């Protein structure tokens, strides 16, 4: 599943290859994604120039002329590619005035592609109630201390749920908690301010490192999920039973709210 670093990588690819282009024609399949595709609304984007590409949590927002926005969520298996190649599971194709078309590809069809007016964007239910961006200045120790105060809830599920901070998926939550030496099951309210400060830094650096490794310029961005270089740098995630790089203890795996959690029983207390 694409997590924040992968989505940010796609955003950068959009910025490099799609911003400034004009949409000449839109084609869409008749299959339903997480929401139905509206041929009529997507057609409204024809003739408009793409002005910018923004990311909010794991949503991509391509802003076009005339205050129209294309909202895209990659779901479980979606991808946005700039390519001439046509494949099965291509669901939306934006033909541009220059260069290869922009293609939304999604085998499992859990993604979202919506063309919105400014008013619809403001009211869009997908964008309501989101926490702060982890790489913005809004995500700081004061915010995390406030969010954790009095909470019995395990720190990992608080990080994951998206109401406090967005985009910290399962892999990055496990990795950041290892970097901050905090056990994932610890009640959020019992973690000291100093340790939460370390956690803020760990979340930021874990995500930033992943973005740096996925974020080279790509004409054909291909590869959702955690492929490549970053995967080889994971300290705990997916390493159940292997020795910890720091202390040689065996990495443990447990299930927390239905998700796998990996941690080092000696380094994380
Ligand atoms: Zn260890």
User: Are residue 146 and residue 227 in the same domain, yes or no?
Assistant: yes
CA of 154 to the centre of ligand 1 (A): 20
CA of 233 to the centre of ligand 1 (A): 15
Active site residues: 2-3, 58, 259
pLDDT interval class at 234 (50, 70, 90): confident
CB 237 within 8 A of CB 262: yes
Q: Token pair for residue 66?
A: 């005339």
pLDDT interval class at 213 (50, 70, 90): confident
The CATH number of whichever domain residue 60 belongs to comes to 3.20.190.10
User: Are residue 86 and residue 14 in the same domain, yes or no?
Assistant: yes
The stretch 3-31 carries a mean pLDDT of 93
The CATH number of whichever domain residue 229 belongs to comes to 1.10.8.50
What angle is formed at CA 80 by the lines to CA 169 and CA 64, rounded to 5 degrees? 105
- Percent residues over pLDDT 70 in the chain: 93
User: Are residue 239 and residue 183 in the same domain, yes or no?
Assistant: yes
pLDDT, one tens digit per residue, over 109-155 is 999 999 999 999 999 999 999 999 999 999 999 999 999 999 999 99
* Mean pLDDT rounded to a whole number for the chain: 91
pLDDT, one tens digit per residue, over 245-264 is 999 999 999 999 899 999 99
User: Are residue 109 and residue 61 in the same domain, yes or no?
Assistant: yes
User: Are residue 169 and residue 254 in the same domain, yes or no?
Assistant: yes
Domain final residue, candidates 69, 99, 127: 127
Whether 192 maps to a domain, the answer reads yes
User: Are residue 27 and residue 107 in the same domain, yes or no?
Assistant: yes
Its domain, for residue 250, covers 141-263
Given a cut of 80, whether residue 228 has pLDDT beyond it is: no
Question: What pLDDT score was predicted for residue 77?
Answer: 87
d(CA 118, CA 64): 11
Whether 168 maps to a domain, the answer reads yes
164-182 burial string, b = 16+ CB within 10 Å, else e?
Answer: bbbbbbbbbbbbbbbbbbb
Question: What pLDDT score was predicted for residue 203?
Answer: 96
User: Are residue 82 and residue 19 in the same domain, yes or no?
Assistant: yes
- Looking at the 3D structure of the chain, how many domains does it have? 2
d(CA 181, CA 197): 12
User: Are residue 110 and residue 205 in the same domain, yes or no?
Assistant: no
CA of 149 to the centre of ligand 1 (A): 28
Question: What pLDDT score was predicted for residue 231?
Answer: 60
Which residues, 6+ apart, have CB-to-CB distance to 19 below 8 Å? Answer: 50, 51, 52, 53
Question: What pLDDT score was predicted for residue 221?
Answer: 41
What is the reported pTM? 0.87
User: Are residue 65 and residue 89 in the same domain, yes or no?
Assistant: yes
CB 111 within 8 A of CB 92: no
Q: Contacts for 207-211 with beta carbons within 8 Å, 24 or more apart?
A: 207/4, 207/5, 207/134, 207/135, 207/167, 207/168, 207/172, 208/135, 209/233, 210/3, 210/5, 210/172, 211/5, 211/8, 211/9
Alpha helices, H only, the chain:
4-17, 39-43, 118-123, 141-148, 155-160, 170-179, 193-214, 228-231
CA of 163 to the centre of ligand 1 (A): 30
CA of 158 to the centre of ligand 1 (A): 23
Count other C-beta atoms under 10 Å from residue 152's C-beta.
8
Strands 23-28, 59-64: pairing is unpaired
User: Are residue 121 and residue 146 in the same domain, yes or no?
Assistant: no
Domain final residue, candidates 76, 97, 127: 127
Domain final residue, candidates 98, 127, 156: 127
Whether 132 maps to a domain, the answer reads no
Residue 253 or 5, more confident = 253
- If you ran DSSP here, which 8-state letter would residue 154 be given? B
The stretch 226-250 carries a mean pLDDT of 82
User: Are residue 71 and residue 162 in the same domain, yes or no?
Assistant: no
Whether 167 maps to a domain, the answer reads yes
The stretch 213-232 carries a mean pLDDT of 46
The stretch 97-117 carries a mean pLDDT of 95
Whether 50 maps to a domain, the answer reads yes
User: Are residue 248 and residue 176 in the same domain, yes or no?
Assistant: yes
Given a cut of 90, whether residue 107 has pLDDT beyond it is: yes
Count, in order, helices (H) and strands (E) of the chain: 8, 10
Q: Token pair for residue 130?
A: 């989101």
């Amino acid at each position: 599943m694409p997590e924040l670093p992968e989505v940010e990588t796609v955003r950068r690819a959009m910025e490099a290859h799609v911003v400034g282009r004009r949409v000449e024609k839109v084609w869409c399949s008749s299959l339903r994604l997480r929401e139905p595709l509206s041929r009529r609304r997507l057609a409204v984007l024809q003739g408009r120039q793409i002005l910018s590409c923004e990311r909010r949590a794991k949503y991509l927002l391509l802003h076009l002329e005339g205050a129209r926005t294309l909202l895209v969520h990659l779901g479980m298996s979606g991808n946005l590619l700039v390519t001439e190649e046509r494949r099965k599971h291509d669901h939306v194709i934006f033909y541009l005035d220059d260069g290869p078309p922009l293609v939304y590809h999604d085998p499992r069809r859990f993604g979202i592609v919506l063309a919105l007016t400014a008013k619809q964007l403001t009211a869009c239910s997908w964008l309501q109630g989101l926490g702060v961006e982890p790489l913005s200045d809004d995500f700081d120790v004061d915010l995390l201390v406030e969010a954790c105060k009095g909470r019995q809830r395990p720190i990992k599920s608080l990080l994951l749920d998206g109401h406090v901070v967005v985009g910290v998926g399962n892999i990055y939550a496990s990795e950041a908690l290892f970097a901050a030496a905090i056990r994932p099951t610890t009640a959020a309210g019992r973690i000291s301010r100093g340790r939460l400060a370390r956690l803020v830094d760990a979340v930021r650096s874990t995500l930033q490192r992943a973005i740096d490794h996925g974020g080279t310029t790509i004409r054909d961005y291909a590869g959702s999920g955690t492929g490549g270089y970053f995967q080889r740098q994971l300290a705990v995630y997916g390493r159940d039973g292997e020795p910890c790089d720091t202390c040689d203890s065996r990495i443990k795996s447990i299930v927390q709210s239905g998700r796998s959690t990996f941690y080092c029983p000696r380094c994380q207390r």
